[in-house]
Amino acid sequence: MTNIDKFAFSADRPIKNIEQDVLGRADFAKNLSDAISQWKGDESLVIALHGDWGSGKSSIKNMALSYSKQQDDSPTIIEFSPWEWSAQDKIVQAFFDEISKSIGRKDSSKEDKKLANIFAKYGNHLSTAHTFLKGANLALPLLVTSILSTGLISSYFTDNSQLPILIATITSFIALILPATGKGSELLGKLSENYEKKSKLNEKNLAEIREELITALKDRTTPLLIVMDDIDRLTTVELRMIFQLIKANTDFPNVIFLLLFQKDIVEKKLTDGTQSGENYLEKIIQIPFTIPQIQIKQVHTVLFNLLNNVIYSHIDAEKKFDQQRWAEVYHNGFKNYFNNLRNVYRFNSTLCFNFNLFKNDDIFEADPIDLIVIECLRIFEPTVYTKLSQSKSAFTSLSSSYSDNQTEKAKYLRVIDDVINSASEKNKESVKKILTSLFPTIKWIISNYYHDHSSYQEWFTQLRICHKDHFDKYFKLSFDSEDFTTSDFINFIQLTVSREKLKEKILALDARNVLEDFLCKFEAYSKQVPQENFESYLYAMLDSADGINSESNQFFGFSSQTYIFRLSFWCLENIQDRKQRATLLNKYINLNSNFSFINYFLFKEYKSREENQETLLEDSDFQALKNDFIIQLNHFANSFPDKLIQHNSFLSLVYRWKEWGNSSDILNWFESKTQDIQGILKILKAMTQSTKSYSSSYTKPHVKRYIKADTVINFLNVPRISNIINSSDLSILSEEEKDLIKMLKKGFENKANNRDDDFDD
């Protein structure tokens, strides 16, 4: 099992024993161990275990060695990592030192300690020549071990009196190939000094040590197992050094070499103009094994277990996980990226870390499947990931068959094709299927399949990457930059239990000038409001409607008040009992003087009846509600006239009053409020309307204010107010008040000339 810390970072280490096997390779490892333990021969045995990068060679080796150590006839195991010494000059001496240390450990027998001492002396002799020749930039191991194999040095060492001749011979040979430099002189001096010291100590020569070593090895009841892993990391020169070192010592009895490497890499490095790497290895490797092929099903079982750990680490992430969509994504190509455990652990480490970034208390601020798949692309298809992050519009724009823009469609198709074509060659089709699953928004571009706006709203609530408001966070790996998080919307839903608290929240958002944007996004969540909270939710909306902005801040869009109306209307729609709808509204009208939504709702019901469309109320309830509305409006107008005049729905309210009530009541009210110039100016200001026009989406709007003549005629006695205006001293009026008089006159002028009311000359 790979090592995993509390943040789920995997150290990607091989497993240590058979009990940790998850790929069904334990039997292979046991058989390999048995074969090694039972071998006994007069010469060394060289076994190779071949496997690709990440295929589990080291894990199989560890299982085999672990199993061997548990057996009575276990070999003495010596693990030597040549690549750890590859940049140093002591690889030969290190090799024999490691053997010596392993055999002569503290609890070794007397015989093993003697053998360890012999190996140490043997390695010391070899390393002397190695150091000299490596410093001379020669293919040292080839030369040293070749000389050793022929017995040349041994013959000299049998008679110490011949030492000067040896030095002279080597010096003469080196002189042919080593430039006459200070470095060369220094090396020759060290070599001579070393051999002089050995002569003075009257040590055994190399041949004698070698024979002593062979005898000691024959007497052992169990073999030495020398394991070399990751030798494919070595350079060509270092590889030849190791293989020549093994080859030069193949006459050692009871010694087994177990070499682990990726065969094609080593063969390529050993191939030169004289022979192929394959032939080279065949002369050294006696028993080549290839590790058992990985069963992908087993690898994916590990993947699923790790994914489950990640997903189940957060309750909300688990709730959001759609098994059906996961099956689609998995089979559409996700699975193709996991053919070994190394890829699994590499992926899981960063995925788990990224999951933690989206945990916001009880809310998981992303779609878990989208996050999993995007992380897969980031790890294994980095170019696709980068290009995708720069292609937001192409992947998140929605269109309909009615508004299909062919030019835009062609442009987006080029972008999508470019992202797909940047995938690795073997996985292009997988990437295409994955992106189609991840972004249903592109189906109108690639297959003429159109999703409606309700689907897009649903993707918003699901935090899907295909929605423009969520796309960026999957690449920034943060939700902090978002104007509103899922937690904000869930909190708003939770507040629907309290009319007062919800109203406070709505007004607070309006005060921050973000209510319009919030309600626009909240529409997608509105279906999640619990039915038992409908009354408090609806009433809080109606309480707020009169006091918030009735004009949109956007180039195209609804105002905050319009969103309140829409949400309230949908709430009523979701109440199945038509009588209950009427009761809720009637109760509200008779206890409150917030008229905006009731006015909007009644007019909508009125138009639906005129157009023979479905209505929310029974006809009798509709008529009763209208009567109550007019009664309350009449009472409010007479009790708080200035509040009605300043109401942001003033014109709409007085039109409903005149149309559904007693017209004389509303006309008398207007007459009573326009007895002098100041009263007239207040009413004219309330009758002012405006239009906005834009030269472009980047400029401020041009606002045109006007007063319709028809509006004035509907409610005021024009000759009467004209006499009051004409008899008043207009010079004392403010500029704003003078503008009102001008707009009034302009309105009647436009009517007389049959021009639009917002005509501007």
Contact 565, 597 (CB under 8 A): yes
For the segment 617-645, the average pLDDT, to the nearest whole number, is: 95
Burial environment of residue 232 by CB neighbours within 10 A (0 to 12, 13 to 18, 19 or more): buried
pLDDT digits (tens, 9 = 90+) for 705-714: 999 999 999 9
pLDDT attached to residue 117: 80
CA of 3: how far to CAs of 10, 64, 231, in Å? 6, 20, 23
**Could you give the CA distance from residue 348 to residue 354 in angstroms, rounded to a whole number?**
10
In the chain the first and final C-alpha atoms are separated, in Å, by: 82
242 Cβ contact partners less than 8 Å away, ≥ 6 residues apart: 82, 91, 141, 228, 231, 234
Contact 492, 523 (CB under 8 A): no
Buried b (16+ CB within 10 A) or exposed e, 233-253: bbeeebbbbbbbbbbbbeebb
Buried b (16+ CB within 10 A) or exposed e, 708-723: bbebbebbbeeeebbe
**Could you give the CA distance from residue 685 to residue 733 in angstroms, rounded to a whole number?**
14
Least confident among 99-113, 448-462, 538-552: 99-113
Q: Residue 177 pLDDT > 60, yes or no?
A: no
What letter does residue 260 receive in the DSSP assignment? Answer: E
Q: Residue 386 pLDDT > 80, yes or no?
A: yes
**Could you give the CA distance from residue 524 to residue 501 in angstroms, rounded to a whole number?**
21
pTM of the model: 0.65
**Could you give the CA distance from residue 635 to residue 658 in angstroms, rounded to a whole number?**
14
What letter does residue 704 receive in the DSSP assignment? Answer: E
CA of 140: how far to CAs of 127, 130, 131, 152, in Å? 11, 6, 9, 16
pLDDT attached to residue 555: 47
**Could you give the CA distance from residue 194 to residue 203 in angstroms, rounded to a whole number?**
12
Helix, strand, coil abundance in the chain, percent, nearest 5: 65, 5, 30
**Could you give the CA distance from residue 325 to residue 243 in angstroms, rounded to a whole number?**
53
- Residues written for the chain: 761
What letter does residue 30 receive in the DSSP assignment? Answer: H
pLDDT attached to residue 574: 93
Q: Residue 42 pLDDT > 70, yes or no?
A: yes
**Could you give the CA distance from residue 433 to residue 443 in angstroms, rounded to a whole number?**
11
State the amino acid at position 116 in one-letter form.
A
696 Cβ contact partners less than 8 Å away, ≥ 6 residues apart: none
**Could you give the CA distance from residue 34 to residue 29 in angstroms, rounded to a whole number?**
9
Q: Residue 165 pLDDT > 80, yes or no?
A: no
CA of 484: how far to CAs of 115, 116, 297, in Å? 74, 71, 42
Least confident among 6-20, 40-54, 589-603: 6-20
- For the chain, give the percent of residues with pLDDT over 70: 81
pLDDT attached to residue 183: 47
Helices 596-610 and 560-573 sit at what angle, rounded to 10 degrees? 60
**Could you give the CA distance from residue 431 to residue 570 in angstroms, rounded to a whole number?**
40
Locate 25 and state its tokens: 């390779």
**Could you give the CA distance from residue 252 to residue 256 in angstroms, rounded to a whole number?**
9
**Of 55 and 225, which is predicted with more confidence?**
225
Which of 30, 32, 34, 14 shows the shortest CA–CA distance to 22? 14
**pLDDT-based confidence at 552, cuts 50/70/90?**
low
Locate 341 and state its tokens: 């455990």
pLDDT digits (tens, 9 = 90+) for 231-274: 888 888 888 888 888 887 777 888 889 999 999 999 999 998 88
Burial environment of residue 93 by CB neighbours within 10 A (0 to 12, 13 to 18, 19 or more): buried
**Could you give the CA distance from residue 77 to residue 81 in angstroms, rounded to a whole number?**
13
Sort residue 553 into left (φ over 0), alpha (ψ -120 to 50) or beta.
alpha
Locate 252 and state its tokens: 């050692």
Which of 570, 551, 365, 598 shows the shortest CA–CA distance to 462? 365
Helices 578-591 and 596-610 sit at what angle, rounded to 10 degrees? 140
3-state secondary structure of 644: helix
Which of 479, 480, 404 shows the shortest CA–CA distance to 445? 404
pLDDT digits (tens, 9 = 90+) for 324-360: 999 999 999 999 999 888 889 889 989 999 999 999 9
pLDDT attached to residue 482: 65
Which of 326, 341, 354, 344 shows the shortest CA–CA distance to 434? 326
Beta bridge partner(s), residue 689:
706
Mean pLDDT of the chain, nearest integer: 82
pLDDT attached to residue 20: 65
- For 48, the enclosing helix (H) or strand (E) is strand 45-50
Q: Residue 202 pLDDT > 60, yes or no?
A: no
**Could you give the CA distance from residue 738 to residue 744 in angstroms, rounded to a whole number?**
10
If you search the block for the tokens 């788990």, which residue do you land on?
A: 352
Phi, psi of 662 (to 5 degrees): -85, 115
Which of 398, 389, 529, 399 shows the shortest CA–CA distance to 459? 398
pLDDT digits (tens, 9 = 90+) for 110-163: 777 777 787 777 777 666 554 444 444 444 444 444 444 444 444 444 444 444
**Could you give the CA distance from residue 605 to residue 651 in angstroms, rounded to a whole number?**
19
User: Nearest 5°: CA angle at 706, between 704 and 712?
Assistant: 165
Locate 171 and state its tokens: 């010096």
